[in-house]
Structure formats: C-alpha cells, structure tokens
Amino acid sequence: MTELPSPGPRPGEPPSRSARRLLLVHAHPDDESINNGVTMARYAAEGAQVTLVTCTLGERGEVIPSELGHLAGAALGAHRRHELAAAMGELGVTDFRLLGGAGRYQDSGMMGLPDNDDPGCLWQADVDQAAGYLVETIREVRPQVLVTYDDHGGYGHPDHIQAHRIAMRAAELAADPSVRPELGAPWRIAKVYWNRVPRSVAEAAFARLQEELPGLPFDKSADIDDVPGVVDDERITTEIDGTAHAFAKAAAMRAHVTQIEVAEPCFALSNELAQPLFTTEYYELVHREGAAGRQHAGERETDLFAGIEEAS
C-alpha cells in the first residue's frame, strides 16, 4: 500500500512536528549539551529532525579526570568524539556531524595563545571555505531554524567566534542560487537564534549556588561573567522549558567526561568552579524571514518554530 504524502500546514499554522528541522552549530564537543541540551532533547523527543554540526574535536581541551590526563591532541580529539556520540545518545539525537569531516579543523585553544596561529586550527580557517561545508549540510537538511553563538562567541573563545561567523555566512550562502549549485537547491533558513542567558536568571542562580556550595563537591563558584551569552533580560525573545528533559541534559553533560563534572544542580569545567546547570534554555531571535529583529515584544516565544508556516 502506497502512503499518501501528509498535507502541508494550513496558512498560519506551524509545521507539523515531524516536519520540523533544527540545525545547531557548535565549536567543540560538550558545547551543545551545556548550551542546548534540553532544547535538543525536547525537539528530538517530539519527532523533529535535529542536526548538530561540531566544528572541531576540541583537541586542546583541558582534561579533568587524572586517569585520562594522558590524552592530548589527536588522541584527545578521538576520545571526545566518542563522548559526543554518547551525549547524543542521551539526547536522542542521531544526526551529528563534524564540519568538513573529522580532523578538517582543529581546536584553536584559548584566545591569545600561540595555538591560535596553527594553520590547521579553526581560527585560521577561511570563513567562506568553511561555510561551504556547512552549506552542503543546510541544503541537504533544509532546516527552518538555526542556533549558534553571538558574534563574541558567547565568551570570546576564538573557535566560538569562528563558529558564529561560519554559521551566519553559511546561512547567507545557502540561500544564494549562484553559490555552489552542485550542492543542491538553495535553501533559506527562516529563523536564526543566538544562545543566551538572561542576566536576572543568572544572578538568581548564582545566589542560590552560593547557599548550596557547602554541600557541593566544589570549593568555589564561578562568576556570572564565566557564563557564555549573559545579556539584559529585554534581549531574550525565546525560552525553552526543559523540565521534562533536565535528566537527559545532565546525562549528556556527564558523557563529556574529560570536560565536565556534574553535581546537580550545578557543574564545573576544568577550573573546578561551580556554575548553575540551566534546565530552561534561552535564545535571542536575530533573524526572521520577512521581518527583522524581535517579533514578540513583551512576550517570549516558547517554541523555536513559532510563526513558521511552511515545512517544505
């Protein structure tokens, strides 16, 4: 028996959940789980197509467990690739890719270090060339929604900044029919979001953390400035309540054993400074086809696909 294609949405209706396609672009394995874990788990559970593109394998990350302290460079990258696969298993995401293939771009290290000058690192990559690899994914997957960092990379890491540049440029190039026609038909992404945390939420979370710190396995807490993407509340356009998927996010973060130590309701990176584990994730809508800037003044969206009428 041949199945008939499902009808498209009526005018004004959002795309059906099975037709929703979300693309996330991140710099290193673990960034996706920290920033977007509940978002990815929610949409995957709802049947949306969730695609993650990671730009490097984080070969210069600092390793937390002493028993894994021997890992460095390519060996660390290979290990972190397995951690990424485990994390995606916890989130229910089956489509996760490395920009240009494994090893195409290497971790650039922290800003200002000699590692930034390595010709093979992401910071030294030609943005248009790197964006070309992402254009191929965009035209294949045809996402309606793109999530990435702001132009500061959230906190100034060169790979995060470069991931932002590549994602934004790829979104532009993918819509241009004159660019790489051999990669398929042009595709215009309907909505682009940047990862954010409202300042009031961060302040309240750190206040609670100070009270809870004596019972946690960390001696000190981080500062609000250590949290990527903190902005004034009025810039937040969208929030995703991840209560139902908080366990999946924490499990995905735990899968990144070399990089993260989780002790709910907080976690720490290699600096051993506790910071809140956010189970509601926040975004700033920075581009929407047919309109510019914020679309819901005074009222936050609760769905990244809100207002998208077509899922072709």
Instruction: Fill in the DSSP letter of residue 10.
Output: P
CA 48 to chain CA mean position, Å: 16
What's the CA gap between 145 and 192, in Å, rounded?
6
The answer on whether 28 is annotated among ligand-binding residues is: yes
Whether residue 25 contacts residue 53, with contact meaning beta carbons closer than 8 Å, is answered with yes
CB-based burial label for 84 (10 Å; 0-12, 13-18, 19+): buried
Residue type at 17 in one-letter notation: R
Residue given tokens 């672009």 in the structure block: 25
Alpha helices in the chain, H assignment, sequence order: 31-45, 73-91, 127-141, 158-174, 199-212, 246-255
Task: Give the three-state DSSP class for 122.
Answer: helix
Half-sphere exposure of 118 (CA within 13 A, CB side): 20
For residue 254, give both structure tokens: 């735990």
What's the CA gap between 238 and 196, in Å, rounded?
9
Q: Please name the residues in contact with 126: beta carbons below 8 A apart, sequence gap of 6 or more.
A: none
Of all helices (H) and strands (E), which one includes residue 195? strand 191-198
What's the CA gap between 161 and 176, in Å, rounded?
23
For residue 263, give both structure tokens: 């002790």
Instruction: Fill in the DSSP letter of residue 237.
Output: -
- Residue numbers in the known binding site are 28, 31, 160
- Residue numbers in the known binding site for Zn(2+) are 28, 31, 160
